[in-house]
Chains A and B, each alone.
Chain A
Amino acid sequence: DTAVSQTPKYLVTQMGNDKSIKCEQNLGHDTMYWYKQDSKKFLKIMFSYNNKELIINETVPNRFSPKSPDKAHLNLHINSLELGDSAVYFCASSLGLTQYFGPGTRLTVL
């Protein structure tokens, strides 16, 4: 009965590859997010969707493309991976002003 789940938990890949991270929430929330936590532990928002519509799109390379097939899912696709993309990516959903986070996906680009 996990509230916010992400797959995979770990992802190791070569530079230049394309990869996706999936996120699902079973809380019935309308808003979902993607955050990136870099090596300095700074947790920074990347995207936010409300009812499948993009509402926040921070300064993120266009190699990153979120996809929301329905309001319970927000997937993150990354093209042409670079070394600097190595980080932990967290998905979250919210009801009001409280966010619920997934366990994170540790992406390592070699």
Chain B
Amino acid sequence: DQQVKQNSPSLSVQEGRISILNCDYTNSMFDYFLWYKKYPAEGPTFLISISSIKDKNEDGRFTVFLNKSAKHLSLHIVPSQPGDSAVYFCAASNSNTGNQFYFGTGTSLTVIP
């Protein structure tokens, strides 16, 4: 019963173009969402988050969009750079029930120079 899904295991994008990574969730009680980036042989590192009271959060080249009615969020990276090549995990939480996070299976992004 995977509550957070990333249906694209991999994505390739040309350098300078936009990367769009998608994430779907099933639990309508989730109210806080995060994206993590993971390089090989390292732990995930926090990238950007969004609360359910917002539909967009931007941090430099990274923007997260939340569509609550569709239970969908996306991470946009523009312009994409080769150093962005990594696995991106989406995570969700219900902030009222403690610090339990549910992760997707990740999308491996390759930015081609």
Contact = CB atoms under 8 A, between A and B. Distances in A.
A101 to B, nearest CB: 3
Given A40-B105, A42-B2, A98-B34, A56 B99 contact: yes
Contact of B103 (A42, A55, A94, A103): A42
A86 interface: no
Nearest to A38: B105
Chain A at the B interface: SS class: strand
Contacts of B28: none
Nearest to B31: A97
Interface in B20-46: 32, 34, 36, 41-46
Contact of A42 (B42, B87, B105): B105
B95 A103 contact: no
B43 A97 contact: no
A51 to B, nearest CB: 12
A34 interface: no
B43 A4 contact: yes
A56 B84 CA distance: 33
Nearest to B97: A56
A1 to B, nearest CB: 15
Interface residues of B, number: 23
B105 A41 contact: yes
B34 A90 contact: no
Given A40-B105, A99-B46, A94 B41 contact: no
A33 B98 CA distance: 12
B97 to A, nearest CB: 10
Contact of B46 (A40, A43, A98, A104): A98
B100 A97 contact: no
B100 A45 contact: yes
A53 to B, nearest CB: 12
Interface of A: 4, 31, 33, 35, 40-45, 48, 50, 55-56, 90, 92, 94, 97-104
